[in-house]
Structure 1
Amino acid sequence: MRALSFHWQRQSQLSEDSMQSLLMNLLRGIASLQVAAAHLRAEIYPGLRNLDEPGLAYVALAFFTGFAHQAVMVFFLISGWLVGGSLLNKIGQPRALRSYAIDRATRLWTVLVPTFVMMIGIGLITGAATTEPAGFGSPGEFSAGTFLGNVLGLQTIVVDRFGGNYPLWSLANETWYYIQFPLLLMIFTGRGLLQQASCAALLALTFAWLPYVMSLYFGIWLLGAVFSRIRVESSFGARIVVLAIALGVSVYYRIYGVNDDILPESFGQDLICTLPVVVFLAAMYQPIGPSVFLRRVGAFGKWLSEFSFTLYVLHVPVIDLMQYIGRTQFGRTLLDPARPTDFAIYFAMLGILMGTSYLCYLVFERNTYRVRRFAKRLLLPTARKPATPIIFSAD
């Protein structure tokens, strides 16, 4: 057997008891935690480049919390695998596209709408928002138009990111990838030439209207969808080599690459970073087995991934609130990288971000499937039963 051999599958074979699922859960959770940790450090510590002689501890903290860019690429990749792979399984079934639309809308809005309401409350406390009416014609990060635009995935395209919550840029990408992918599929699977041509025209319109870099990064998302259909047969040694390559290129581009934004010139590096990751995932289709250690790791990864979306969208406003408390109650907003006690404060604040997000998850995100079932009963009244939930949804 060759070190690596690629095999096409008609259906995704992802199961809850596989190493793929364990790794995807773990990656999703760690990626969300990485983004929150990176943004927290950037907000409450001075920039590393502004320090003449930073201590070794702070250099290590800055390095290990500097993979937020790569973490977002992991989100795109896994979202493509899970969301795109699920639609590939169901395409051609009755009401598949309507069910897909409800799944995507409820996944986003069940978390986003209450988060935006909480952001308004935090903004009123910190003074970032005002009690004056802000209608659809009013400018500003807290206006009704900005609220609706962010719910519809129009941030960075038509409106600002709501409340200055800068990680929301990636949700605009995700929203439009959810639209572009079924249009792409319908070009090949649509009923008749007219439907196929219409979908091709609509897809072309999205590419023409959306920012170029947004459509370019659809390629990363699409890579995940394609590999949901590929099983990689490999030796143990080959998997170790692929994993080492994935880690090596991530570290290399963490140091020498573009990490502050997604740009046309950063697409090549991100493709290089994500390709070994997706190959490694495709090779890890084996069952977890009886290992107690792996099952504990899997349980932790599943727990962390369950509130990863809430953590991703909520951490910036909570950081703003903690900074407001620090400024008004303690007279400081920045930590000192030379003081060991300030490292304890940093990790305590990171714990608060996780705890707050988990509590909000229990109230809102955990009920996504209830909201989804209600929406399907309302909008798909002829369906005999709701579609089986996607257990490992990254979107």
Structure 2
Amino acid sequence: MHTTVNAMRHLDSLRIIAACAVVVLHYSDYFKDLAVGRFMVGHVWHFNLFVDLFFVVSGFVIARQYHGDVGDGTAIGRFLWRRVARIYPLHLATLAFYVAIALALSFGISQTGNPARYPISDLPAQILLLHAFAGERLTFNFPSWSLSAEMFCYLLFPLMVAITARRKVLAIALFALPALANTLWNVLMGTEPWAEWINYGGAFRAVPAFSLGIACYLYRERIARWPAVPGLLMSSLAAFMLLGSWLTPMAALAAIYAIAVLTIQPDCSGRDTWLSMLKLDRFAPFTYSCYMLHIPVATVVITFGSRLLSFASPEAKLVLAPLAVIVLGVASVFSFRKFETPARRYLTALYDRRFAPAVAAAPISQREIAQ
């Protein structure tokens, strides 16, 4: 029997590792009233930079799938709709979950120690995916700020393709110039390092990473010829995860960029490494589901669970952490298979029937479904 080899098994493996790291970061914060929680928060803060790894991977995958297929208005419209069809249904579902909580709070049905997280006034920005530009705070399902940043990159993608179509060296400028602009803004305006921009400026934080992914795709043949250093990828990843909290935010961001490129290299050359041998790429389709659902699951299992259950000691509530992880795993598989994929196929077919009835639209690939 012929077995199809995943040509992006390293990037897919790293995606699921990154998603799990973000879960560890955010779930640790739910237990910061305990010593173990405070220890974790202090030593895994740099896991937030794994979101930038998602941006790099997204740039590479989107370029691989669409770089030669956004040459006219029809193709651009189909590309943007397909991206919306991928990210929007689950975003809207998780947003509706928190809007329900906001309504319960407003009617006095429930209480919270953080009412600023549920402002109805933020709904327009949330619905329009504008909350990674100039939001005052993280609200509702707060990891969704990265979707707003992703959508900004998708809107820029056709322009990036036009710029790099004839001179791919300009892809390097598309990475360097936004990074330089972010740095200058940081220095002149006295903001926090742009590696920490989230709701305020997170969209601009994403552009260099997304552009780096595109550049790696365009230079994939040259990257494939780089000499292989056995163990370098895994050792770099392990060192970052264990020691990255000692780095400054910008140094940690540079490390993430380096790890992303090191991960792309074996996929370009087609060789195996210790990372690919773990076969974690089989879980990659559930990355987005895991990322978007981990906070709603924590709200139900950890927050509500802590209120409803009586524990013999404060430390006893730590049992809710592994329970939340189990629930998250089940919810992610269910969401991907029973909600996200059917919704995406329906929306894509709807668009093609309405706007491209006479054109045989490209079918949705498994790579698109998983990304």
Q: Give the alignment's TM-score, normalised by structure 2.
A: 0.73
Query: In the alignment, which residue of structure 1 is the partner of 2:337?
Result: 362
- Equivalences for residues 380-395 of structure 1 within 5 A: 380-389=356-365, 391=367
Aligned in 2, Cα 1:185/1:390: closer, same or farther, shift over 3 Å? farther
**Corresponding residue for residue 77 of structure 1:** 56
- Distance in 2, matches of 1:30 and 1:148, equals 32
| Aligned residue in 2 for 1:44 | 31
Give the structure 2 partner of residue 90 of structure 1.
Answer: 69
Q: Distance in 2 between matches of 1:309 and 1:161?
A: 23
The total of aligned residue pairs comes to: 330
Instruction: Describe the shift of the 1:151–1:62 C-alpha distance in structure 2 as closer, same or farther (beyond 3 A).
Output: same
Aligned match of 2:266: 283
Which moved further from structure 2: 360-369 or 90-99?
Answer: 90-99
Kindly state the Cα deviation for residue 93 of structure 1 after the two structures are TM-superposed: 6.5
Q: In 1, Cα distance between the equivalents of 2:319 and 2:307?
A: 20
RCO (CA 8 Å, sep 6+): is it higher in 1 or 2?
1
Counterpart of 1:372 in structure 2: which amino acid?
T
Q: Does 1:226 pair with 2:205?
A: no
Offset, 1:182 = 1.8
From 13, 17, 20, the counterpart of 2:5: 17
Match of 1:301 in 2: 281
CA offset digits 1:191-210 (Å, max 9, x no partner)? xxxxxxxxxxxx9xx999x9
CA distance in 2, matches of 1:394, 1:104: 12
Greater per-residue helix proportion: 2
The answer as to whether partners of 1:92 and 1:189 remain within 8 angstroms in 2 is no
**1:260-275 pair list within 5 angstroms:** 266=250, 268-275=251-258
2:228 equivalent to 1:255? no
Counterpart residue identity of residue 22, structure 2: V
> Residue deviations 1:65-99, cap 9 Å, x none?
65531321221111111113322132437832122
Partner of 2:191: none
Three-state SS of the structure 2 residue aligned to 1:391 is helix
Contact 1:102 1:376 in 2 (8 A): no
Could you report, residue by residue, the CA deviation over 1:80-121 in whole angstroms, capped at 9, with x for unpaired residues? 111133221324378321221111111111221222223334
Which structure has the larger Rg? Answer: 1
Contact preservation (8 Å) 1:75, 1:394: no
Distance 1:158 1:245, change over 3 A: closer
Q: How big is the shift at 1:288? A: 7.5
Q: Mark the CA change 1:283 to 1:324 in structure 2 (over 3 Å): closer, same or farther.
A: closer
Q: Does 1:141 align with 2:118?
A: yes
Q: Distance in 2 between matches of 1:376 and 1:182?
A: 19
Percent same amino acid at aligned positions? 15
Partners of 2:156 and 2:340 in 1: CA distance: 25
Superposition RMSD in Å: 4.0
Structure 1 residues 245 and 322: CA distance shift in structure 2, 3 A: closer
Q: Is the 8 A contact 2:44 2:241 kept in 1?
A: no
Q: What corresponds to 2:157 in structure 1? A: 181
Partners of 1:95 and 1:333 lie apart in 2 by 62
Partner of 2:323: 348
Q: Is the 8 A contact 2:301 2:323 kept in 1?
A: no
The 1-side partners of 2:225 and 2:165 are apart by 29
Runs of 4+ in structure 1 deviating by more than 6 angstroms, as ranges, are none
Contact kept in structure 2, 1:44 and 1:334, CA below 8 Å: no
C-alpha distance in 1, partners of 2:150/2:91? 13
Distance 1:333 1:30 in 2: 34
8 Å Cα contact 1:227/1:278 also seen in 2:
yes
1:163-197 C-alpha deviation (Å, 9 max, x unpaired): 5322122222111111122223334659xxxxxxx
- Judge conservation of contact 2:285–2:370 (CA < 8 Å) in 1: no
Maintained 8 Å contact 2:144/2:292: yes
- CA drift of 1:286 comes to 5.2
Structure 2 unaligned residues grouped into runs of 5+: 110-115, 167-177, 186-198
What amino acid is aligned across from residue 79 of structure 1 in structure 2? S
Q: 1:120 to 1:331 in 2, by over 3 A?
A: farther
- Aligned-pair CA distance for 1:222: 0.9
Q: Identify if the C-alpha distance between structure 1 residues 240 and 150 changes in structure 2 by more than 3 Å, giving closer, same or farther.
A: same
* Corresponding residue of 1:200: none
Matches within 5 A, 1:54-133: 66-92=45-71, 95-123=74-102, 127-128=104-105, 130=107
Q: Which of 15, 35, 38 is 2:22 aligned to?
A: 35
1:316 equivalent to 2:303? Answer: no
Normalized against structure 1, the TM-score is what?
0.69
Does 2:342 correspond to 1:375?
no
Distance in structure 1 (CA, Å) of the matches to 2:215 and 2:241: 22
